[in-house]
């Protein structure tokens, strides 16, 4: 039996569809994704309002987008770990903790970017 792979524009269509499905699932099931999406909207508005360069604006928005990206990966890790089973296991806890640490580091990067740009703008 031969399995044909979807290629070209059809593959792009399906990839986009699955990505949007994943974003919707994360938005509906993960409070952190909703909070970070709100933060992104506020961050975009603030960065457009401030008198900053295009590169600084990209850093400000991109650093918040990175938080959401890492949160999505963390949520995927948690879903897979939870799917394996409900029992407590050292490696499951370690995987979840490391995912959470990645989100924390992305937040620290965003704070560094925003803090540095705002400091340079106002002081």
Active site (catalytic) residues: 71
- Cα–Cα separations (whole angstroms), residue 65 to 24, 71, 80, 120, 123: 16, 10, 23, 22, 26
* Non-local CB neighbours of 45 within 8 Å, separated by 6+ positions: none
Q: What's the rounded Cα separation, in Å, for the pair 68 and 20?
A: 14
Q: What's the rounded Cα separation, in Å, for the pair 58 and 14?
A: 29
């Amino acid at each position: 039996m031969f399995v044909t792979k979807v290629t070209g524009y059809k593959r792009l269509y399906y990839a986009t569809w699955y990505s949007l499905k994943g974003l919707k699932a994360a938005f509906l099931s993960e409070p952190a994704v909703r909070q970070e999406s709100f933060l992104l909207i506020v961050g975009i508005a603030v960065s457009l309002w401030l008198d900053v360069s295009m590169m600084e604006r990209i850093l400000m928005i991109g650093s918040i987008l990175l938080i959401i990206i890492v949160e999505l990966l963390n949520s995927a890790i948690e879903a897979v770990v939870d799917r394996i089973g409900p029992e407590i296991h050292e490696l499951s806890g370690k995987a979840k903790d490391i995912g959470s640490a990645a989100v924390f580091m992305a937040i620290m990067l965003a704070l560094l970017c925003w803090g540095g740009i705002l400091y340079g703008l106002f002081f």
